[in-house]
Structure 1
Amino acid sequence: MNLAGIAVNIYRDQLTNKKKKQSEKQQTGYNSRLGWVFVSKDFTKETTKAVRTYGSLFNVSKDYTYFTPNTFYRNDLRRLSTLRWINAMSIDIDAKNGENTGMTLPDVQELITEAGLPMPSLIVQTPSKGFHVHWFLEQSKRASDKLNAHYSRIQTCIAEMLQGDVHAIGPERLFRLPTEENTVFHSQERVSFDDLCEWFQLIQEQDQQDVHTYKKGFCKGYETLLQHPAVQKILEGVHEGQRDTACYTLALAYKAAGYDEKTAEAYLHNWNQKNTPQMRQIEVKRKVKSAYNGRFHAPSAKKIRELSGMLFSYVIWEEAKPREERTYSHIQEWEGDVLAFIRAQGGRVTGSQRDLAEQITSSVNTDKKIPYATFKKVIARLEEQGILSKKVSGKGRGASTELCIIDELKARRTQSEASKKEQDTVPKNNGLNSNTIKDTVVGGMALSLSQGTEVTGSSQYSTLNLPCTYSTSRQPAPLPGNVPSAFTSALFNRGFTDGRFIFRAWGKVQLAFKEFGIVYHSIASTPPYVRLSVEAVGLTVQKRGSIIAGDFKGEDSFFKYLFGVMKGLFKKSRSAQLTQFVEEIEHLSDVMLSHIGMELEETLKKHPVVDRELQVAKLRELEREESARKRRKHYTNHTAFDLTSSLNQFKLFMKTDD
């Protein structure tokens, strides 16, 4: 695709087709959707120009090299403070100074897949053989200080996962203008910013689990950082391709340990003499300056592990005070208090919001009431998570609000997490935003609580007072932790509250996937597969009944039907994916077709594939398309030859006749 198509894909209605005249501005007024795109010949301010129409962008693209995927509300200042719209998540993968030498497009795509990221919208190759990777957003996001900061956090995380430049961070940055020559990959895929936030949250949770995984290499504090064996290994010197990253990482280590910039630079000049080959002294100085002037206060544990090849992790967070010792409560703690209050009233309360807020107190201090502003924020969060429903009747001071718990499973888990945080005295991660929502249960149909519904028990696995899915002679088992929460919720919300039943149902789902060569551990980690399993539960309940509806037809019948439905849904899904693939490759050029074929062959040859049979089928379809194109070319050439031959014979006949 050319620049015109790519630009329209990114900016949509943020640029205009032509410049507005003054009279038109007076008639139509100011358009808050429009934004300025900056283009540049290099990274200096003197060569930067702002454009606001597609025509201007196409005209200057011949003389300018870089552009901003995101747009600004001022045409004289390219800064975070002047950013208006965020349109894309963009990463710079450098191939300079020995880093990422020999990296190819398939290598980049493999890193994206391994990181669990969605397919990018655009990949541009730079003259130094690096890559600029862009994910276009489904909906442009209005820039704000909070959003810009979170964008940079996600961008940094993606850059680390893709071996990109962690210093080329910020939504205001310039990237190379795409052309037909440097565009090596383009798709119609777009990603929502919420999906990127969810991906980032999962990575953060995984990093927290890594603290236990790397227990043997654990570092207790900054003061012992430089003495840790993994850091000492890096201090012994590194090879070409690691020097820049190692120098920056060690500079941050010295910074965290309390050394001033000059001392750290002196130490790193001595360290540089152990490298093979050595870095230039000016490069060492730049890395130290970047580390001490940047926003990072300590090195990345992941980088230390990669550079040293040793176990390493550390958590340098202050120990959180118990709630009763704090002046303010976390929003998750207030969520637990709000849910406890509503549950005590039978799962439903009615009144003005101010009156309701006046009745809610802290679980550790009854003299402390929830602030009204916090109450509204908590209700909005619980409503967004699908835990509460809010219905407002009337207007103004006479308005009445009804709050009702609609998903008891989520409610109890949310309250349990808040209670656990209050009781936990180990060091806490204060780095994450306290407003980050961790919805651990998705999918399935929400279970409404009537005013008469009784909730019994106080443990994490307390269940509603519903009929047991097994014999009443034995107690219901806890909800299994190794089954996807969406699948658990889909059954739990229909009255199947016994963990044994849920575990057996998940076993049937796994057997159905196994019929198609899908290994067990890949099912839970593949969101589309989990969504299919939730859909299978819904279809099975329609035919075999549920506990909550009172028409349950028995376990054996339920499990057999679930197994069959799961097979049918997966077969239909795979067929749809293959059909879509066939439609897509029909419009690709011969070069791109060949490139995709090589990628599929490499994937099948080197790496484990979640759905190998589907990839093999795609490769066969691609080979059929290539064969069909060859036949069409052959037929066209022969037809043209036959037509030319006939004309020549006709001319010869006419001459003979004369």
Structure 2
Amino acid sequence: MLSVAKQLFKDQLTEKSKKQSKKQQTGYSKTLGWVFVSKDFTKETTKAVRTYGSLFDVSKDYTYFTPNTFYRNDLRRLSTLRWINAMSIDIDAKNGENEGMTLPDVHESITQAGLPMPSLIVQTPSKGFHVHWFLEQPKRASDKLNAHYSRVQTRIAEMIQGDTNAVGPERLFRLPTDENTVFQSQERVSFDELCEWFQLIQEQEQLDVHTYKKGFSKGYESILKHAAVKKILEGVRKGQRDTACYTLALAYKAAGYDEKTAEEHLHNWNKKNTPQMRQIEVKRKVKSAYRGRFHAPSAQKIRELSGMLFSYVIWEEAKPREERTYSHIEEWESDVLAFIRSRGGKVSGSQRDLADQITSSVDANKKIPYATFKKVVARLEEQEILSKKVSGKGRGASTELTIVNEIKAHRTQSETSNKTEEVSNEINGFNSNTIKDTVVGGTALPLSTGASLALPKAKLTPVSLPTYSTVSKPAPIPGNVPIAFVSALYNRSLVDGRFIFRAWGKIQLAFKAFGISYHSIAATDDYLRLSVAAVAATVEKKGSMIAGDFQGNESFLKYLFGTMKGLFANYRSDQITQFVEAIEGLGDIQLSHVGMELEGELKAASVVDRELIVMKLAEIEREQSARQRRKHYHNHSAFDLNSSLNQFKLFMKTDD
């Protein structure tokens, strides 16, 4: 318990309390924080501690604690938070929710979500789990940060089957003990990394149901008539009730029913469940659905609950670019590149001045927003189309932007210009409609429990659901995925941004198993080549869309993960073999010098492959030890030979 607390709170708690006289001399600390502990969730049993000794003492009588700390010891509120130390999720197992979930299931859901490995997992008496990601550096609490923390926390909870009602950085979680700690690691995550994950998830869901407008929306009226939804309306078993109730409430909401009518329908539906939910729980689920940010149900949840194929789209009139409030970022990319090219391929100045000079190619009165300009530059830099150099600081800073890859730049502009034509001509004909989401319809195929969603096998036809809807256009590709990796999938017709995002997540997790940080993968040519090779090997085994033998997302992604780990293990082995061959030909002084250089690299703040350096140092030690043994053996053998010769000469003299 104490070791975990010190890893989490660091210098926010003290070993012992300060005396009042000491406080008067040094002043009150602005870095320390109070940890609240509680016997249950009532205010009467809450106690605040600020020393490790006190925390250890009360852990015998108290059950819960706050992973984040406060600047007041009398009030546990968002407004009194001082430091945010961890991202914590409650996976509840009460009332049949997540029944039978095991630790491997938790790890699998975390991996599937593309999240980093947690620092701590505690199991609760009800067989639920509290999952904690300790932050590399604590974040100073603020109203803005607290709000975004809750948004990220809610999204993580949704992705790993956590309790979306148990959110907020001020919440209590179960105190870790030797008995209830089921997983612990030295992994740490930056809050920025979690925010980037959240942003990618939001981009991934751009084609989901967020286009629904308040009230009734055309296209959703038939959702309750679909066979998959009808099957859920027949009642569900224990362990599915909460999810089913919330999903159906969103279905009623999307279909235009008011909250009161939806609640009446769901109370009648609840009578078909075995066992039934409490009426208050039905009411809460409906309230949560109607007052939350989701406007329609998840197609994936409907598939899981019904065991049947289900998807839906909403058709909405597409506005010309000049009539849109915000243009697609790809279109602004084209305008930024055109502006730089018109200045000879290189521009310089303050970023605000540069942004102020760029106008829309279809509306000269419309300028690129400054925030959008920064995003566009970052995306083009990530794709290695632009290079950015900043000189100076503050208001006097100057940014130089240079087009470094004209081929990619022209490709980006041509893809942007062709995208609208492709969507209108190939998908919608000449009716100027744009598909926004996935549509209710299609054949409902019953599936056995746990079976994958599969289509009938036919020649040149995928044997599983494709990586994107055959009706709607693919989701956009996340900007942080390297272009080489995207191309490796794109060239094999695996073009959906959501699938590419998940595939890159598997690559990142595979490297993470060897201690390689996410940002190092894209920055290292050898690692990118290995990632592309992993895609090629996986496609050879699991098929591709273009060949019509694709075996399904999950099968492909799992094989990709294992292949990437195997390729990197072989790569590391080859690196060590080559290193050993190289040092065998070095002299003792050169060998020692190489060892010193490696030790210097190991002390650096950012090391790409720390484990490889450690392995190389071990090989140097082995080589040095082997040389010492050889010298000792040689010297000892020479001494024995000289000794034998001397004895022989003495013997000959004696014989004379």
TM-score by length of 2: 0.60
Q: Which residue of 2 aligns with 1:249?
A: 247
Q: Which residue of 2 aligns with 1:271?
A: 269
Query: Quick one: which amino acid aligns to residue 98 of structure 2?
Result: N
Q: Which residue of 2 aligns with 1:405?
A: 403
Q: Which residue of 2 aligns with 1:426?
A: 434
1:273 and 1:16, CA in 2 relative to 1: closer, same or farther beyond 3 A? same
Contact 2:534 2:567 in 1 (8 A): no
> Using the alignment, how far apart are the partners of 1:341 and 1:399 within structure 2?
21
Contact 1:339 1:411 in 2 (8 A): yes
Map 1:217-616 → 2, pairs under 5 A: 221-314=219-312, 321-329=319-327, 333-353=331-351, 355-370=353-368, 375=373, 379=377, 388-393=386-391, 400-406=398-404, 426-428=434-436, 438-441=479-482, 506=533, 510=537, 525=561
Higher deviation after alignment, 123-132 or 136-145: 136-145
1:166 and 1:383, CA in 2 relative to 1: closer, same or farther beyond 3 A? same
Query: Quick one: which amino acid aligns to residue 440 of structure 1?
Result: V
Query: Quick one: which amino acid aligns to residue 308 of structure 1?
Result: S
> Using the alignment, how far apart are the partners of 1:108 and 1:204 within structure 2?
22
Corresponding residue to 1:90 among 88, 91, 102: 88
Contact 1:510 1:523 in 2 (8 A): no
Give the Å deviation of 1:525. 5.0
Query: Quick one: which amino acid aligns to residue 335 of structure 2?
Result: D
**Local SS of the residue matching 2:222:** helix
Map 1:61-210 → 2, pairs under 5 A: 61-143=59-141, 148=146, 150-197=148-195, 199=197
Query: Quick one: which amino acid aligns to residue 298 of structure 1?
Result: A
Query: Quick one: which amino acid aligns to residue 6 of structure 2?
Result: V
Deviation per residue, 1:447-503 (Å, 9 max, x gap) = xxxxxxxxxxxxx99xxxxxxxxxxxxxxxx9776699999xx9x9999xxxxxx99
Deviation per residue, 1:26-45 (Å, 9 max, x gap) = 76667554444332222233
**Local SS of the residue matching 2:133:** strand
> Using the alignment, how far apart are the partners of 2:535 and 2:297 within structure 1?
46
Deviation per residue, 1:116-145 (Å, 9 max, x gap) = 543322111111121112222333344556
**Local SS of the residue matching 2:84:** strand
1:354 and 1:171, CA in 2 relative to 1: closer, same or farther beyond 3 A? closer
Aligned residues: 488
> Using the alignment, how far apart are the partners of 1:416 and 1:534 within structure 2?
40
1:274 and 1:481, CA in 2 relative to 1: closer, same or farther beyond 3 A? closer
Corresponding residue to 1:10 among 8, 11, 17: 8
Q: Which runs of 5+ in 1 are unaligned?
A: 212-218, 430-434, 445-459, 462-477, 496-501, 540-572, 581-658
Deviation per residue, 1:247-285 (Å, 9 max, x gap) = 232233333334333333322222122122223334333
Contact 1:509 1:533 in 2 (8 A): no
- Percent of pairs identical after alignment? 72
Give the Å deviation of 1:303. 2.2
> Using the alignment, how far apart are the partners of 2:562 and 2:142 within structure 1?
33
Deviation per residue, 1:506-546 (Å, 9 max, x gap) = 499749x99xxxx987675579659959999xx9xxxxxxx
Give the Å deviation of 1:178. 0.7
Q: Which runs of 5+ in 2 are unaligned?
A: 210-216, 424-432, 438-475, 508-519, 542-554, 576-608, 617-656
Higher deviation after alignment, 63-72 or 522-531: 522-531
Give the Å deviation of 1:324. 0.5
> Using the alignment, how far apart are the partners of 1:171 and 1:436 within structure 2?
32
Q: What do you get for the CA RMSD once the two structures are aligned?
A: 5.1
1:195 and 1:134, CA in 2 relative to 1: closer, same or farther beyond 3 A? same
TM-score by length of 1: 0.60
**Local SS of the residue matching 1:137:** strand
**Local SS of the residue matching 1:313:** coil
1:493 and 1:23, CA in 2 relative to 1: closer, same or farther beyond 3 A? closer
Give the Å deviation of 1:323. 2.6
> Using the alignment, how far apart are the partners of 2:349 and 2:106 within structure 1?
56
Deviation per residue, 1:88-112 (Å, 9 max, x gap) = 2322222222233333333433444
Contact 2:530 2:567 in 1 (8 A): no
Query: Quick one: which amino acid aligns to residue 357 of structure 2?
Result: Q
1:109 and 1:328, CA in 2 relative to 1: closer, same or farther beyond 3 A? closer
1:441 and 1:104, CA in 2 relative to 1: closer, same or farther beyond 3 A? closer
Query: Quick one: which amino acid aligns to residue 68 of structure 1?
Result: T
**Local SS of the residue matching 1:127:** coil
